[in-house]
Chain A
Amino acid sequence: MSTINNTAIHDQRIDHQAISDLIADNCSVLDVGCGDGGLLDLLEKRTNIHCRGIELSQSGVSQSVSRGLSVIQGDADRDLVYYPDNAFDYVILSQTIQAMNRPREVLQHLLRIGDKIIVSLPNFGHWKVRKHLLLKGQMPVTEHLPYSWYDTPNIHFCTIRDFVNLCDELDAKIEQAIALNASGHRIGFRAPWWFWNVFGEQAIFLLTSR
């Protein structure tokens, strides 16, 4: 959950606007792994959204608090247990699940703490990743996944299909799903999962507990 900068375009991560679009006004939001607070800052500027964040890195927390956000330094793998049930309208896990030690437990906690969960993740099933592994025989290093295998904070990669399976296992209902291609454009809603799994560079899910 350190500040992970997989997908920076024009200083704003391409998933932020798409996530913000999923959130209604007048609500409370917890961003788990909020980095420097970029997404929370975007949300705070909207109407009556009460924002909180957790971030592992001191620099991320310092930047967030300096820009006036309520952010605590903490570790989602360890600290989520202290939040009461249904404490937030939305809990966001943006580009962070792949850096968790126990992503399954974290997701379970999120479903307990929030009424609605938003998860965005880099898709390890994207064709560029597949090509890298298939042709080069090496762990993929792409523009959006810039780390080498030995120093990456991303320890639990999954594909869109893997994540959908996990949601089923945890009895989470996928209310909405969005896949973004390499340039940040949305992939047609009617496209089948396999198409998303190959062409979606990242995916955003809106979940609820069943």
Chain B
Amino acid sequence: MANIPISDSEAQQDTGSEQLEKIALNEARSPSSNVWVFDENDPLVLECGASLAPIKVAYETYGTLNSDKSNAILICHALTGDQYVASENPVTGKPGWWTTMVGSGKPVDTDRFFVICSNVLGGCLGTTGPVSINPETGTAFATSLPVITIRDMVAAQAKLITALGIDKLFSIVGGSMGGMQVLQWAASYPDRVHSVVMIASGARHTSQNIAFHEVGRQAVMADPQWHGGNYLEQNVAPRKGLAVARMAAHITYMSGESLQSKFGRNLQDRDKVTFGFEADFQIESYLRHQGMTFVERFDANSYLYVTRAMDYFDLAEDYNGKLANAFMGTKTRFCLISFTTDWLFPTDESRSIVHALNAARASVSFVEIASDRGHDAFLLEEPDMFATIRGFLKSAERTLVRTDTSK
């Protein structure tokens, strides 16, 4: 009776999962999206001091760039997101991860804006990451890849934007880890961003945030199939560890309220508990499913790298501990959105950024939206969020015109 968690239905899913994992590995090395390659002569100097070249940046675009190149919006994805913001994910076959926000007639309207979304550095859907082949060894980087930071991710994006011939982005929009990139962009390249939208995010990872990530990483590394990171060579993967990491993380994306109302103490396909360790409760079954499907599309080492990047993020630290210094004299327009039940990036994190922006005399809008859906709210149907972003982008467009005529 005493099943090891996750293993109940693993046997029957194995063939399908492995096939998906193969597709995922293939997409990581030769993605079906656009790829920009920066060669050996164009290295990226990372925050840790190492130099990385060549690098690949995989990206998708939507809509048309206008003649004066003033309508480009960069979307920054979250921890396990990818460049397929509004188009089908080639691994899962599912629609883009933010089709409520990006598309024809949506708040980020692809009829009017040229939308770019790239896979982050350290990711696993085509941009250079631990799955990529290290040209020096001919095998996957695995854990020999230098540690990547949010600033490095943004530096890679900036290279892509330059390569695409765009001097200044009309806007950058991102939630969660995407929001961290948004802030880093505004701090590192103030003259290259007209406006930014940061949703459900913060200027640093808190102790609690780091703690949850560490649990996830330890789960991955404790899996014997991890093999010190060199599992690809052995043709295996630390599936159980990564699934547990995802399960733990998934809890942090939802509010206690929404878990309770969605699952309560409901039992899964049974009338009474089994007095064993099967997934008796719906919430257990749900989390196991989340863990299993995640493993099919995401690389375990990539998960280590990207969570680490978030943990290292503390924007104020780069500016003598004073966040306002990061934005002094900025002309960028900021819009910040938080959600009442988000306990992963609570409103106070946004509010402290707002205070810093006020101190820096920056133009800022901020709203805390009432939602019972926790951190995940930013990916869901939240009409107030959409209305806010529509209004903000509209006014940002007006000021763009104003700046242009004053030249």
Number of A residues near B (Cβ < 8 Å) is: 21
| Among B25-33, B309-317, B350-358, the stretch in contact with A | B350-358
Given contacts A52-B363, A65-B367, A70-B365, contact A82 B384 (CB under 8 A): no
| Among B41-49, B50-58, B389-397, the stretch in contact with A | B389-397
Given contacts A58-B367, A83-B359, contact A74 B354 (CB under 8 A): yes
Q: Which of B360-398 contact A (CB under 8 A)?
A: 361, 363-370, 384, 387-388, 390-392, 394-395, 398
Pick from B364, B391, B394: contact of A72, CB under 8 Å: B364
Pick from B368, B387, B390, B395: contact of A69, CB under 8 Å: B395
The total of interchain contacts (Cβ-Cβ below 8 angstroms) comes to: 69
Contact with B along A48-67 (1 / 0, CB 8 A): 00101000001001101111
Q: Is the CB of A71 within 8 A of B361?
A: no
Q: Which of A106-122 contact B (CB under 8 A)?
A: none
Q: Does A168 contact B (CB under 8 A)?
A: no
Question: Could you say which residues of chain B place their CB within 8 Å of the CB of A64?
Answer: 365
Q: Is the CB of B361 within 8 A of A72?
A: no
B42, chain A: closest CB distance, angstroms: 38
Number of B residues near A (Cβ < 8 Å) is: 27
Which residue of chain A lies nearest to B333 when distances are taken between CB atoms in the complex? Answer: A70
Compute how far the CA of A52 lies from the CA of B391 in the bound complex, rounded to whole angstroms: 15
B142, chain A: closest CB distance, angstroms: 45
Q: Does B335 contact A (CB under 8 A)?
A: yes
Given contacts A68-B394, A74-B351, contact A61 B363 (CB under 8 A): no
Contact with A along B77-89 (1 / 0, CB 8 A): 0000000000000
Compute how far the CA of A79 lies from the CA of B364 in the bound complex, rounded to whole angstroms: 14
B383, chain A: closest CB distance, angstroms: 9
Q: Does A87 contact B (CB under 8 A)?
A: yes
Q: Is the CB of B363 within 8 A of A72?
A: no
A-binding residues in B (CB < 8 A) = 333, 335-336, 351, 354-356, 358-359, 361, 363-370, 384, 387-388, 390-392, 394-395, 398
- 6 sample A-B contacts, Cβ–Cβ < 8 Å, listed by A number: A58-B384, A61-B367, A66-B390, A69-B365, A79-B355, A82-B358
